[in-house]
Chain A
Amino acid sequence: MKTSSLPLISVQNLTVEFGTREGPVTAVRDVSFDLARGETLGIVGESGSGKSVTSFALMGILDANGQVAQGEMTYSGIDLRRASPRQMRDIRGREISMIFQNPRSALNPIRKVGLQIEDILREHAVAVGGHARRQAVELLDRVRIRDPEKRYHAYPHELSGGMCQRVVIALALACKPRVLIADEPTTGLDVTTQKTIMDLIRDLATEQGLSTILITHDLGLAANYCGRIVVMKRGEVVEAAPVDVLFGAPRHPYTRALIEATPRRSGTVRALLPPDDFRHGQPDPKPRCRALSAPLLTVEGLTKEFGAEGSGFGWLPWRKGVETDKAFRAVDDLSFELHAGESLGLVGESGCGKSTTSMMIMRLLDPTQGSVRLDGEEISAIPSSKFARHPARAKLQFVFQDPTDSLNPRFTAARCISDPILRLGKLEGGKAVKARVEELADLVNLPLELLSRFPHQLSGGQKARVGIARAVALNPSLLILDEPTAALDVSVQAVVLNLLADLRAQLGMSYLFVSHDLNVVRLLCERVVVMRAGIIVEEGATDQVMTTPKTAYTRELLASSPEPPPTLGALEAAE
């Protein structure tokens, strides 16, 4: 037995390269860190920081074109870099396990989850025959899956995302490993699910004496569950420190920027920007509030049912009266108002009906019941197929969640932005359109030379700007923002949120901000509506909902979102 002071995992000067057509690309450069026994280490970084590649290299599961170019990796004294494939296979799953992002796709879609657990038990000869089956059910029980006997027979598509992640955790812990690497384990899950999954991982780790590496983009999450954090940027470690030191006195400007950009329960939009941005300390832009005017958008008794029409064979005589699938009410008797110049947040977890609501207001979906009035004009009666050409359409614009998928890959940025102008605008002639597109690009701080590029040649933040420029092209009075920053890195999110705040102040639009994250919605909206299962649970001024929530659900929602510890600056300001 070696001394316990020896790290369990040690990575020294790790460099990973990927062979591409343009020659080798270094994804990870000179990365070093140690993982002590029983420790929880966070590796935090934005996309492209090399945090996942580091863990893949550690596990020896890099893609075929990737290779460790330099450095040493040891696990409990074993040289991982020079271990034989056979040795590595024994280490994977039995000594070091890994769980992944997108739990649903991380499971074999056509194999029962119980059998997938059994596969691993058998592979490592932990259990055989009927014993393996019993153990698989036990494992499902241990990750707090209710009714494990029944769930053993479930296929991944029959389980929710959170359930799938529990199964993946069961897979990872099946052979009682000593190290668990969790790569973005809760990205894409709801905040309340995120909390239960993270708590589960923490509890199981304590129970089994696991050392954990948590890889995440979310500094707040890492701060809540890790003892020490390694911050990575573009393949390099910029800073490694215990949590309180990291937040109390970040040494690297990037760490500082990352801490600032993480949305919290308080603070301004401007404060999200990096400290060296000249706007950092400035007060937030003031919207031109006209809250006393007549409501811009009135939603009354809005209801959407799915599956109510039956199977399509209802007209057949022998299908008459046959009970078809029960109609599912995605949105149930929803009513709210939005005044000109005001911003309203629509908050809830996935499946709460917030996106369905925004689609009905946008007239992309026909409501089952209820009315939507825009500027006093009833628009819910216009069929969704006709609304695209309706004059009221120009007043309503939409910014989508995925900046990549919502842009036509064959259109240049300029063509994307000009699309609504050409369809609904009154501008004549290429010159006028071009001038307007350039004006819009200026408005969203998109460099003009990027206008001739195609979406795949733009970064995520630039694509988000193109989407926003396109949405404001016709000077809409209402902009519906459906999770506009959910797919972006926090530093980019900070910039985009500031841009949205500026645009609102300049153009006097109203926002309907749809999001799962109260901390983000809070930054732009004066009022919020909290939805759950198609109905409004709570409605009120943002500050009031954030500080003194009236319902248990809102309280749970607030408690679930991880709050990073206060920075030194914030502490000083409080004194």
Chain B
Amino acid sequence: MKSWARLRMVLGRVGQALPALFGVIVVTFILTRALPGDPAVYFAGPAADEASIQQIREALGLDRPLYEQFVYYLGDLASGNLGVSISTGQPVLEELARRLPASLELTLGALLLSLAIAIPMGVLAATNPGRPIDHICRVIATAGVSLPTFFTGIALVFVFYYLLGWSPAPIGRLDFAYLSPPPITGFYTIDALLDGDPETAMAAAGQLLLPMITLALFTLAPIARMTRGAMLQALGSDFIRTAKAAGLSQRVILIRYAFRNAMLPVITTLGMVFSFTLGANVLVEKVFAWPGIGSFAVDALVVSDYAAVQGFVLTMAMLFVLLNLLIDIAYTLIDPRIEANG
């Protein structure tokens, strides 16, 4: 009965994400139409005359009314046709499919690392407010967020690759000495492990480490601050006093009563943190020659590769919608207070 209601709620959330996805598609469509310049002229090349431009315009369907173009656009999207990138000559979809796992591996890895550091840091700070440990956490978090990622990235490369030589050269996902593992998840470290090749996995992890740390440092601050605040609030609430008065041990109070409640607002901020991690990704990918979609998009933008840019915007927007959907669902499942129609 109850789990039914929960499932209905989850499905409801999924349903609510559909209009957002449709909105994303409309916006990308309008965006490409609003960009300056006539694509037909662009495609026809500099030597084309009026007649050949007109011909291309008809061939591309650009002479049709806007709604008809939109229907074609939807049809193309449904069949996975995002056009061809003029800078690489490859279909945009293939290009994105190849690069997206690289970006996701980096971003998710960084986020996990950041959570693993920031949450204990926030809890420590909250349980010792005003004490030295609180101030140390604050300093670390503030330093992390105030240094621009390209600077931290270069500094890390300088120290750990150039000076100490502990880290491999920042030349992408895998050193040339290794073959990339068979694509299963698209994440090199995981694929190599699945393939039973720990050596390649280690090499991939080594490549991943520095850019991951760079990004993680940047996202430390918001998560740590949020955890600290939420934890302080939870620890100050009445039910903690009840738990104390009932003689529950410090560990149970801290973890089962305070921490679980404090995680709710932290989960909400995760969506936001993820979005700006993806933003910061673009620079980090450039510094570490990481073959992700961020560096691809920057290259495409520089050479006015509209199909590629459009594909990128579409992918990112979908990613945001899906991620927020996941967070919403997680929240619905964790917090019993969310009502069926709330």
Q: Which residues of A contact B (CB under 8 A)?
A: 59, 61, 89-94, 97-98, 100, 102, 105-111, 119-120, 123-124, 155, 157, 168, 171-172, 174-175, 311, 325
Contacts and interface: CB of A to CB of B under 8 A. Distances in A.
Interface in B230-257: 237-239, 241-249, 252, 256-257
Contacts of B239: 105-109
A175 B243 CA distance: 14
A120 B248 contact: yes
Given A105-B237, A325-B341, A110 B336 contact: yes
The 3 closest A-B pairs by CB, nearest first: A93-B247, A92-B247, A98-B245
B246 A92 contact: yes
A97 B246 contact: yes
A89 B249 CA distance: 7
Contacts of A91: 247
Nearest to B236: A63
Most chain B beta carbons < 10 A, residue from A94, A108, A119, A123? A108
B159 interface: no
30 contacts: A59-B244, A89-B248, A90-B247, A93-B245, A93-B246, A97-B245, A98-B242, A100-B238, A100-B245, A105-B237, A106-B239, A108-B239, A108-B243, A108-B256, A108-B257, A108-B261, A109-B261, A109-B336, A109-B337, A110-B260, A110-B334, A119-B248, A119-B256, A120-B246, A120-B247, A123-B248, A155-B336, A155-B337, A172-B245, A172-B246
Nearest to B336: A155
Contacts of B237: 105
B199 interface: no
A501 to B, nearest CB: 37
B76 interface: no
Main secondary structure of the interface of B (DSSP, over half): helix
B265 to A, nearest CB: 12
A61 B335 CA distance: 28
Nearest to B130: A64
A135 to B, nearest CB: 15
A390 B144 CA distance: 56
A123 B252 contact: yes
Contacts of B335: 110
Contact of A168 (B242, B248, B334, B341): B242
A91 B247 CA distance: 7
Contact of A102 (B238, B247, B252, B256): B238
Contacts of A100: 238, 241-242, 245
Nearest to B257: A108
Nearest to A310: B341
A61 B249 CA distance: 13
A311 B246 contact: no
A157 B244 contact: no
Contacts of B264: 110
Given A119-B252, A123-B249, A157 B242 contact: no
A325 B244 CA distance: 40
A171 B237 CA distance: 17
